[in-house]
Amino acid sequence: MSYVHWAPITEGLIEAVWVVDPRTRRILTVNTAAARLLGVERGALVGSAVQDWIADPQDHVYWQEWQAGIEQTLESEATVRRADGELVRVQRRVSPVTPEGGETVVLVAMQDLSEWQQTRQRLETLLAELRAALESSSDGILVCDLDGRIRAFNRTFATLWDLPEALLTHQDDTAIWSHLAACVPDPGGFHSRLGELQRAPLLEANDVVLLRNGRILERASRPQLARGRPIGRIHVYRDVTERTATEAKLRLAAKVFESSLDAIVVTDPERRIVACNPAALKLAAMERDPQGERLDDLLYAPSQPQWPHHVAQALADKGYWEGELWLRRPEGPGVALLASWVLLRDGDGRPLNTVLFAKDLSEKLEAQRRIEQLAYSDPLTGLPNRLMLGERVGHAIRLAQRSGRGFALLFLDLDRFKSINDSLGHMFGDQVLVEVAARLQRCLRQTDTLSRLGGDEFVIHLHEADRHAAEVTAQRIIEAITRPVTIDEMQFTLSCSIGIAMYPQDGATLDELIQCADTAMYQVKERGKGHYRFYQPEMNADLLGRIQMDHAMRQGLQRGEFELHYQPRVDLRSGTVPACEALVRWHRPGQGLVMPGTFIGVAEETGLIALLGHWVLQNAIAQAARWAAEGRPLQVAVNVSALQFQQARFVQDVADALQQHRLPPHLLELELTESILIRDAEEALGKLQALADLGVELSLDDFGTGYSSLTYLKRFPLHRLKIDRSFLVSMPEDGADAAIVAAIVQMGHALSMEVVAEGVERPEQLQRLHALGCDHYQGFLFARPMPADALRTRLASPDGKPAQTPPP
Q: CA 144, CA 133: separation in Å to the nearest integer?
A: 17
Phi, psi at 334, each rounded to 5°? -75, 170
Whole-number pLDDT of residue 570 = 95
Does residue 447 contact residue 396 with C-beta atoms inside 8 Å? no
Whole-number pLDDT of residue 777 = 95
Task: Return the H-helix or E-strand segment holding 20.
Answer: strand 16-21
Give the strand pairing for 668-672 and 635-639: parallel
Give 589-636 as a 3 state SS string.
CCCEEECHHHHHHHHHHHCHHHHHHHHHHHHHHHHHHHHHHCCCCCEE
What fold characterizes domain 4-112?
A: Beta-Lactamase (3.30.450)
Query: Model-level pTM greater than 0.85?
Result: no
What b-and-e string marks burial along 61-73, b requiring 16 or more CB atoms within 10 Å of the CB? bbbebbeeeeeee
Q: Which amino acid is at 704?
A: G
Whole-number pLDDT of residue 565 = 95
Give the strand pairing for 87-97 and 105-112: antiparallel
CATH of domain 561-596+603-800: 3.20.20.450
CATH of domain 256-365: 3.30.450.20
- Coil/strand/helix, residue 150: strand
Instruction: Say yes or no: do domains 4-112 and 256-365 share a fold.
Output: yes
- Coil/strand/helix, residue 431: helix
Whole-number pLDDT of residue 465 = 94
CATH architecture of the domain with residue range 127-239: 2-Layer Sandwich (3.30)
Q: For residue 637, which of 600, 592, 668 has the smallest C-alpha distance?
A: 668
Domain boundaries, the chain: 4-112, 127-239, 256-365, 377-535, 561-596+603-800
Does residue 802 have a cis peptide bond before it, meaning omega lies within 30 degrees of 0? no
> Could you count the other beta carbons within 10 Å of the beta carbon of residue 39?
12
Contacts 24+ apart (CB under 8 A), 101-105: 102/1, 103/1, 104/22, 104/71, 105/3, 105/19, 105/20, 105/21, 105/22, 105/28
Whole-number pLDDT of residue 676 = 77
Whole-number pLDDT of residue 57 = 75
Q: For residue 757, which of 802, 720, 800 has the smallest C-alpha distance?
A: 720
From the options 3.90.180.10, 3.40.50.12500, 3.30.70.270, 3.40.50.150, give the CATH code of 377-535.
3.30.70.270
Q: Starting from the edge strand earliest in sequence, which strands make up the sheet with 216-226, in order?
A: 150-153, 140-145, 229-239, 216-226, 205-210
Residues of the chain with confidence (pLDDT) below 50:
1-2, 4, 246-248, 803-808
Q: CA 43, CA 726: separation in Å to the nearest integer?
A: 59
